[in-house]
Amino acid sequence: MAKERLVLASQSPRRRELLKEAGLVFEVIEPDAGAECGICSRETPPEMAARLGFQKAANVAGKIDHGYVIGCDTIAECMGNILGKPTDRTHARWMLQLLRGRVHAVYSGLCIWHRPSGRHSVRVAVSKLKMDPIEDETLEKYLDTEAWVGKSGAFGFQDGPPWLQLLEGSASNVVGLPMELLQSTLAEWDLSLEMFRDSSSSRG
């Protein structure tokens, strides 16, 4: 069994997969609907990502008696536009047209919250990517796959589209949960990922 209780405050299947790939044992408790408010005036993209990650963690931390809660929110930004999850195909097309041929940034606000102490930490990871100047036909074929559904910026980096390159930063951050930042934040608390792995199984 895992040595410590770990709770993921998210409904994202990609965040769950990243934690599973790291060999962690965790529970999923989704934040309440409306637990996060939208864009605040004069809020920068990293400030927004940090606030949303904090709100998710705080909401779920209030539901448990003990353990460590991970709250995370990821947004893309290009040309001053904050790109969340597209509402429909037309919205996704607009996002991809904005992104193509340009460098853009992906921010993840990561919050770790301990119960019952109430100790918490919020940090932000940033990655930079560039999308090739793909033609309309390629863009429409991608839209046909619906791989953009539920993904910030209307793309899934983990799907491996050949027209998207990571220039700097963490790949896991682009997918939705910066694992390197999670590990370094835990280290600041004198904790490690090993605490949340199954102690009955070996891992190299």
Q: In angstroms, rounded to a whole number, what is the distance separating the alpha carbons of residues 15 and 23?
A: 13
DSSP category for residue 153: G
Contacts 24+ apart (CB under 8 A), 4-7: 4/67, 4/68, 4/195, 4/196, 5/64, 5/66, 5/67, 5/68, 6/67, 6/68, 6/70, 6/196, 7/60, 7/64, 7/67, 7/68, 7/69, 7/70
Q: Which of 123, 106, 103, 141 is nearest to 57 (CA)?
A: 123
Catalytic annotation, residues:
73
H or E segment to which residue 107 belongs: strand 103-115
SS (H, E, C) 112-131: EEEECCCCEEEEEEEEEEEE
